[in-house]
């Protein structure tokens, strides 16, 4: 076990038999630990599996590894949150989890090593099917009617009712994890910022944190404040947009129209920081590239207040409207037990009553969280996700304002960037957990004996949460799909990487 | 109801009379690059080349050359060049009709901050005036990270109000005059992109938005395809290129208007 802010020597990550790893993981998960990542690392004789577990109550991480051979007894029956990790392991490394209930490719890509010719066509696989005289199947995508990313959805319907929804992604697979290892070092950060374009700050923070923890570098408080400011602006923009989209799918058009504009106001605040509306090129290992002086702080506070006033007013008229509330209440429910066992993260999990928020559970620095609170709801429906986002708007706006004011007062007192060593220490593992607006982003970096990456694993919140959307659709009407989808608004490329 | 009306009055009228009025963009925004023609022979550092994440820069006998079709506008070269030969201006109108016209060789023109529609760089590959009054586009995200998609989508909101130009995003390729592609085109989207393209009736256009769609951007060289639209669609099919990672919405709007605007 190790402190989450420190790196651990690769040699100290215990190598055990796959059976021991399996029982250790199952035992820990029963005690409330969570699986952060479970993935393959190339080894001299094939592949080693690494499992990183987290215990939020003690703020401890643990890592263990094993040689899985060609097959091993699956963890998923006892530990459902492993289901996608095991499918991924199977697809990438050909390691078969015996007894996995639904073993099929995740991204329809060729194996990590060996011939690349033997790839299945995208989404070409068996689908869960319901048979019966009046049962029908609805297939949607990959290309959708709107301006969104591609993905394939299969609904098994009885009349209007959805008995099961299977979500098959992989169309967006760009092989980012591999590119991070292979591409020139100058390209790594831009690549990470493109993992999920609407979460550039979240992923960049995770990547920089992994590098800083590996190097044992402490960045300045000012850098932490700037990063937090950017992260909360990202949350404000995305929540505002999605609340507008929920308005749109409910047929409440005023909020839909206004929020589209107000989202832009928040994005433009981020652009004031670094020139890019999505926060590209703001962060760097060691801190941030752009500082905020007193004059900019003052101007931004004024604009932030105006944008927040508009967002609040726009969302409030929607949430005062009884027909909207009626539409949202009870729609797309996810049960607490499902959310916990499937390992949902972030605001989707908090809406079901699962207490987790990396900002409080795994703080990146010792600064006080101020007006940021772990917001919770218990009903797990679209209404819960809507109200939770609405609550988080208040927190994020207050936090961003305080951070801007503090940056203005303390302008020039300390730098926002410290120097990083020229190379990374060899044979170490570090983990970063960052609460992006969708939920916890987890990056795991492992260096090899030359200080280069041995493996770099990225777990986007969408990786876990697409299963939540599938659960939300059970026994709902098919026409509820768009609304449920918007309430989660998951990333396709974050899942597909 | 009264609250909705009160809020409506507060939210006000927000549409900008673009392109006759210049939009306000952050002072830190990196727009059209401006290069000083100079012999880089005296420079032994070539730091600009090593810091560029995507190989967008070249140093020729006449001086530096920057390919906007590969550039992330990250300013790394601007900071690295000790002789300050590379700068980024504030000009947001970057679209081009040809791939070659995206390559910047000299200083930026001096009259560029003037508002009003300007022709995209280079020559149209064919006459686009047919699309000048009504343009329906099918958007295809093929590996796009959702940043370009978001800034394409935002053009439908009331600040930009794409509809007032007679431009709309169509839900089906059968109803479209062309496709607008974002993303580097992953191997798993190759067929879907080709099928969508085939389903659009002739005559049809292609707009490539973002550095990924133009050249693959940060994903160039990935083993999952990812070298842009032109690695998949027939040669010469792209009519307008809109560079940026992602391009600013005003840059995208300018790019679309360079196809379809009655006065273009």
Q: What percent of chain A has pLDDT over 90?
A: 87
Q: Is A295 on the interface with B (CB under 8 A)?
A: no
Question: B137, exposed or middle or buried, with CB in 10 Å at 0-12, 13-18, 19+?
Answer: buried
Residues of A284-297 as b/e, b for ≥16 C-beta within 10 angstroms? Answer: bbbbbbbbbeeebb
Tell me the per-residue pLDDT of A131-150, one tens digit each, with 9 for 90 and over.
888 899 999 888 888 888 99
Residue A123 has pLDDT above 90, yes or no: no
Contact B224 A173 (CB under 8 A): yes
Same domain, A306 and A214: yes
Residue with tokens 């659709």: A473
What is the least distance, in Å, from the CA of A484 to any CA of chain B?
Answer: 19
pLDDT band at A50 (very low <50, low <70, confident <90, very high): very high
A145 located within any domain: no
- Same domain? For A68 and A180 the reply is no
Query: Does residue A105 fall inside a structural domain?
Result: no
Is B263's pLDDT higher than 60? no
For the record, the structure tokens of B235 come out as 């040669």
Which residue of A lies nearest to B182 if distances are taken between CA atoms?
A149
Has residue A362 been placed in a domain?
A: yes
Assigned domain for A165 exists: no
CB contact under 8 A, A198 and B143: no
Residues of A in contact with B158 (CB under 8 A): 257-258, 260-261
Which residues in chain A have their CB less than 8 angstroms from residue B156's CB?
260
A263 touches B at CB < 8 Å:
yes
Is position A122 within any domain?
no
ipTM: 0.92
- Burial label for A181, CB within 10 Å (0-12, 13-18, 19+), is middle
- Domain end point (choices A100, A129, A150): A100
Asked whether the beta carbons of residue B169 and residue A147 sit closer than 8 angstroms, the reply is yes
Is there a domain that residue A133 lies in?
Answer: no
Per-residue buried b or exposed e for A85-100, using 16+ beta carbons within 10 Å of the residue's own CB? bbbbbbbbbbbbbeeb
Residues A381 and A489 in one domain: yes
Chain A residue numbers touching B52 (CB-CB < 8 A): 186
| Residue B225 clears pLDDT 90, i.e. is over it | no
Residue A445 has pLDDT above 50, yes or no: yes
Regarding whether A236 and A96 lie in a shared domain, the answer is: no
The confidence band for A296, taking pLDDT boundaries of 50, 70 and 90, is very high
Chain B residues with CB under 8 Å of A197 CB are 144-150, 246
Are both A362 and A236 inside the same structural domain? yes
CA neighbor of A190 nearest in space, from A283, A286, A267, A289: A283
The number of domains in chain A is 2
Domain membership flag for residue A363: yes
Is the same domain home to A71 and A218? no
* A197 with B144: Cβ contact below 8 A: yes
A109 domain-assigned: no
CATH code at A26?
Answer: 3.30.460.80
Q: Which of A100, A131, A148 is the last residue of a domain?
A: A100
User: A312: nearest CA in chain B?
Assistant: B7
Say what the pLDDT of residue B113 is: 66
- A205 in the same domain as A86: no
Output b/e per residue, A17-48; b: 16+ Cβ within 10 A.
ebeebbebbeebbeeebbbbbbbbbeeeeebb
Domain end residue (candidates: A100, A118, A141):
A100
Residues A206 and A302 reside in one and the same domain: yes
For the stretch A301-332, pLDDT in tens is 999 999 999 999 999 999 999 999 999 999 99
CB atoms within 10 A of CB B47: 15
The residue of chain B with its CA nearest to that of A190 is B218
Residues A356 and A262 in one domain: yes
Compute the average pLDDT of residues B199-224. 94
Contact B224 A275 (CB under 8 A): no
Q: Do A172 and B149 touch (CB under 8 A)?
A: no
Confidence category of residue B262, pLDDT binned at 50, 70, 90:
low
Distance of alpha carbon B64 from alpha carbon B47, whole angstroms? 12
Contact (CB<8Å) A145/B171: yes
CATH code for the domain of A482: 1.10.645.10
CA distance linking residue B228 with residue B217, whole number of Å? 8
Summarize pLDDT for B160-187 with one digit per residue, the tens.
Answer: 999 988 899 999 999 999 999 999 999 9
Residue in B closest to A307 by C-alpha: B11
- Mutation for testing the B interface, residue in A118, A147, A489 having most B CBs under 10 Å: A147
Mean pLDDT across chain A: 93
Domain encompassing residue A379: 176-496
A71: number of CA atoms within 13 Å, CB side? 7
């Amino acid at each position: 076990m190790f402190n989450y802010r420190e790196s651990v020597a690769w040699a100290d990550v215990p190598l055990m038999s796959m059976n021991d790893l399996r029982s250790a993981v199952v035992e820990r998960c029963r005690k409330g630990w969570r699986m952060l990542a479970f993935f393959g690392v190339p080894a001299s004789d094939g592949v080693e599996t690494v499992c990183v577990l987290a215990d939020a109550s003690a703020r401890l991480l643990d890592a263990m590894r094993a040689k899985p051979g060609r097959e091993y007894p699956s963890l998923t029956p006892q530990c459902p949150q492993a289901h996608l990790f095991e499918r991924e392991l199977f697809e990438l490394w050909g390691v078969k989890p015996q007894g996995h209930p639904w073993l099929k490719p995740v991204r329809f890509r060729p194996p990590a090593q060996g011939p690349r010719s033997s790839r299945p066509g995208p989404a070409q696989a068996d689908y869960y099917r319901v048979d019966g005289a009046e049962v029908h199947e609805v297939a949607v995508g990959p290309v959708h009617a709107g301006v969104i990313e591609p993905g394939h959805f299969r609904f098994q319907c009885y009349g209007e009712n959805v008995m099961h929804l299977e979500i098959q992604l992989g169309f967006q697979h760009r092989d980012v994890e591999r590119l991070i290892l292979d591409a020139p070092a100058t390209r790594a950060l831009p690549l990470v910022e493109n993992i999920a374009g609407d979460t550039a700050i979240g992923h960049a923070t995770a990547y920089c944190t992994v590098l800083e923890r590996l190097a044992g570098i402490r960045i300045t408080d000012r850098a932490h404040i700037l990063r937090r400011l950017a992260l909360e602006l990202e949350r404000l923009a995305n929540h505002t947009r999605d609340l507008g989209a929920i308005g749109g799918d409910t047929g409440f058009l005023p909020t839909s129209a206004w929020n589209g504009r107000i989202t832009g106001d928040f994005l433009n605040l981020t652009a004031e920081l670094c020139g890019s509306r999505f926060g590209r090129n703001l962060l760097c290992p060691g801190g941030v590239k752009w500082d905020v002086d007193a004059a900019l702080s003052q101007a931004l506070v004024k604009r932030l207040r105006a944008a927040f006033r508009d967002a609040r007013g726009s969302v409030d008229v929607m949430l005062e409207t009884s027909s909207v509330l009626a539409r949202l209440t009870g729609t797309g429910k996810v049960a607490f037990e499902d959310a916990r066992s499937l390992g949902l993260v972030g605001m989707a999990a908090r809406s079901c009553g699962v207490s987790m928020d990396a900002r409080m559970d795994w703080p990146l620095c010792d600064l006080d969280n101020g007006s940021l609170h772990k917001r919770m709801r218990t009903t797990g429906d679209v209404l819960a996700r809507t109200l939770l986002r609405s609550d988080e708007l208040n927190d994020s706006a207050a936090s961003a304002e305080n951070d801007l004011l503090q940056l203005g007062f303390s302008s020039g007192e300390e730098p926002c960037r410290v120097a990083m060593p020229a190379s990374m220490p060899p044979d170490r593992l570090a983990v970063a957990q960052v609460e992006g607006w969708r939920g916890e982003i987890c990056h795991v970096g492992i260096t090899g004996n030359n200080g280069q990456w041995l493996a770099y694993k990225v777990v986007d919140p969408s990786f876990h949460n697409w299963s939540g959307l599938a659960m939300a659709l059970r026994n709902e009407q098919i026409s509820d799909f768009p609304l449920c989808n918007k309430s989660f608004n998951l990333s396709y490329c974050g899942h597909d990487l | 109801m009264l609250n909705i009306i009160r809020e409506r009055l507060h939210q006000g009228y927000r549409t900008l009379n673009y392109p006759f009025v210049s939009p306000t963009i952050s002072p830190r925004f990196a727009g059209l690059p401006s290069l000083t023609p100079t012999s880089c022979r005296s420079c032994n550092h070539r730091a600009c080349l090593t810091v560029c994440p995507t190989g967008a820069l070249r140093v020729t006998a006449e001086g530096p050359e920057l390919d906007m079709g590969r550039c992330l506008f990250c300013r790394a070269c601007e900071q690295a060049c000790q002789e300050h030969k590379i700068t980024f201006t504030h000009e947001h109108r970057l679209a081009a009709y040809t791939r070659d016209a995206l390559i910047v060789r000299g200083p930026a023109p001096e009259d560029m901050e003037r508002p009003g529609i300007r022709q995209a760089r280079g020559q149209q590959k064919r006459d686009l005036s047919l699309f000048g009054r009504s343009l329906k586009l099918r958007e295809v995200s093929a590996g796009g990270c959702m940043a370009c998609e978001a800034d394409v989508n935002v053009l439908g909101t009331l600040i930009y109000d794409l509809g007032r130009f007679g431009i709309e995003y169509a839900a089906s390729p059968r109803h479209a005059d062309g496709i607008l592609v974002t993303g580097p085109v992953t191997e798993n989207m190759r067929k879907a992109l080709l099928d969508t393209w085939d389903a659009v009736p002739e005559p049809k256009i292609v707009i490539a938005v973002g550095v990924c769609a133009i050249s693959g951007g940060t994903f160039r060289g990935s083993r999952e395809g990812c070298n842009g639209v032109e690695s998949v669609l027939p040669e010469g099919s792209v009519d307008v290129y809109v560079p940026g990672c992602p391009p600013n919405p005003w840059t995208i709007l300018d790019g679309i208007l360079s196809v379809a605007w009655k006065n273009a």
